[in-house]
Amino acid sequence: MQAAYAQEIHPDEPLRGLVVGERPDPEAPRGWRVLPVVAAGLNHHDLWSLRGVGLSPERLPMVLGCDAVAEHPELGEVVIYPVTEGTPGWEGDPTLDPRRSLLSEVHQGTLAEYVCVPEGAWVRRPEHLSAVEAAALSTSWLTAYRMLFSRAGVAPGDTVLVQGAGGGVSTALIQLGAAAGLTVWVTGRSEEKRRRAQDLGAERTFEPGERLPARVDAVLESVGAATWSHSINALRPGGTVVICGATSGDAPEKAELTKIFFKQLRVVGSTMGTREDLARLCRFVSGAGLRPVMDRSYPLSQTADALRRMRDGGAVGQLGIQVR
């Protein structure tokens, strides 16, 4: 099968280790199933993998990709749930399993003509979405859904600040938040990205670090070090910052510990979501008629071009990969 995979690890030049070429067709162990991939999607996770973060050299070559819509022989097109448990007999939320992984970390990923997943690790594709749109739900939208509705503790009418206007998680947060009746404010580095955020439902947009007109109930944070102080200072007393990543680094110059305890702020981590979260997300997307924002779609053979666009920060929304 054709696949986009990590052949080597290059921390400073990640794309040097990417190969698009032939890999053996997967074989399903007991309790798993091989499905043909229709469309896939990219995330920053793929670039981190090529840098060797979460992917050790002894696991190479590794097919990249966490997102996919695949063809199920009985159900039709399904959205793949990419979290795999690592602890035998683990019960409960798989994202709390200390040995959990995502597809493309221990098991081969989705940027290929076929993917092998545990039985039941899928949800029917929302009918109004194309396959490449629905693939975005696997990771970016699932992450955003859990941040908003499981971790932030907000309700319709509350105000949330989304740090960063361009990425897949950020655009999902804007669309989901606005559809759920939240007042969504967004920071963005460029006028174009701020304008796009307003088009998606943001009530107001601001430059990074800009003083806000009022404190917010929650901050949705994926940038990390570059925006941390602004996030803490943006919160009302008792507010919550939910962090799902740290693309600018995980060591902010100021931890703001005094403000955190004095204002009784909550700092909450969030990673992916459960399969049930994915099912609820698909129902919400269908009921609200939401469509993930697609920046561009590429054929599998041009995965390097898509990853380069992601690396350079030019994408607004999701980068899709059309496989079939």
Mean pLDDT of 172-187: 96
- Model confidence pLDDT, tens digit, residues 68-79: 999 999 999 999
Q: Which residue has the tokens 């947060």?
A: 173
Write down the number of H helices and E strands in the chain.
9, 18
Q: Is the pLDDT of residue 314 over 80?
A: no
Average the pLDDT over 221-225 and give the result.
88
Q: What's the pLDDT at 167?
A: 79
For 231-271, the pLDDT digits (tens) are 999 999 999 999 998 877 888 889 999 999 999 999 999 99
Strands 183-187 and 204-206: parallel
Instruction: Classify residue 225 by its DSSP letter.
Output: T
| For the chain, percent of residues with pLDDT exceeding 70 | 100
Task: Identify the CA nearest to 101 among candidates 62, 51, 144.
Answer: 62
Q: Which residues pair with 215 in a beta bridge?
A: none
Q: What is the mean pLDDT of residues 311-324?
A: 88
pLDDT of residue 207: 92
**250 vs 6, which has greater pLDDT?**
6
> How many other CB atoms are there within 10 angstroms of residue 319's CB atom?
26
pLDDT greater at residue 6 or residue 85: 6
Is residue 320 within 8 A of residue 46, CB to CB? The reply is no
**What per-residue confidence (pLDDT) applies to 192?**
87
Residues 115-138 have a mean pLDDT of 96
Amino acid at 313: G
pLDDT beyond 80 at 316: no
pLDDT value at 181 more than 80: yes
pLDDT at 315 over 90: no
- Residue ranges with strand state E in 109-251: 114-118, 122-124, 159-163, 183-187, 204-206, 216-221, 235-243
Question: Which pLDDT belongs to residue 281?
Answer: 97
When pLDDT is cut at 50, 70 and 90, the band that residue 225 belongs to is confident
Backbone angles phi, psi at 33, to 5 degrees: -145, 140
pLDDT, tens digit (0-9, with 9 covering 90-100), for 86-107: 888 888 889 998 899 999 999 9
Using the predicted structure, report yes or no on whether residue 166 has a pLDDT greater than 80. Answer: no
How would you classify the pairing of strands 216-221 and 159-163?
parallel
User: What is the structure's pLDDT at 180?
Assistant: 96
40: tokens are 């896939």
Q: Could you give phi then psi for residue 156, rounded to 5 degrees?
A: -50, 135
The per-residue pLDDT for range 198-217, each reduced to its tens digit, is 999 999 999 999 999 999 99
Q: Is 32 helix (H, G, I), strand (E, B) or coil?
A: strand
Tens-place pLDDT, residues 264-293:
999 999 999 999 999 999 999 999 999 998
Q: What is the pTM of this model?
A: 0.93
